[in-house]
Chains A and B, each alone.
Chain A
């Protein structure tokens, strides 16, 4: 049972345009969400995160939107650049007793930004 789903395995966007990557989750206990970018032969790189008490968080060209009622989040990249071409993972975490924090990942979306 996939608790975090990224239904689009791939996305192609023209340089300078907006890239929108989507993620859905099923576990109502998730209260923190993160996006990671991964280049081949490297580990995932943390991009941006959002707590469930917010519906938007912005950092430079990256904005994450959270719709709790729909259990949906999206990552917007504006403007898209060729260097943004990578696999993007959505991840979620649930606050539990104690301080341990387990991340549950989606299967990723390959973004290709065309020059």
Chain B
């Protein structure tokens, strides 16, 4: 049973560029959430998708956007990258309405 997968593992981008991160949920899960984890901090909620729509959003600017596909996989897009966007980006999947979320290994984004 495949768990949550994310790609790429690592990414280096320059300020002002755009980036797309990808996530495939655990088999049987229909909900995907994205989190940003800065060094030494806990994950911070970006947004959650189910039924291909953004259902809840954390305190992140509109530069952060996402998409969910009919097969429940998801993308996180970040435009106009800032140095402060450097972080570990975690995808988590769950069943709609349940609190237990299962995380992927993350994508380490470095903005130079």
Contacts and interface: CB of A to CB of B under 8 A. Distances in A.
Interface size class of B (residues with CB under 8 A): 20 to 34
A99 B96 contact: yes
A36 B102 CA distance: 10
A43 B105 contact: yes
Given A46-B100, A46-B101, A103-B101, A89 B43 contact: yes
B40 A43 contact: no
Interface stretch (B11-19, B44-52, B62-70, B78-86): B44-52
Interface residues of A, number: 27
Contact of A46 (B43, B56, B90, B102): B102
B2 interface: no
Interface in A30-48: 32, 34, 36, 41-46
B100 A43 contact: no
Contacts of A46: 100-103
B42 A107 contact: yes
Interface centre among B55, B90, B94 (most CB of A within 10 A): B55
A102 interface: yes
Interface string B20-31: 000000000001
The 3 A-B residue pairs with the shortest CB-CB distance in the complex, in nearest-first order: A105-B42, A43-B103, A100-B56
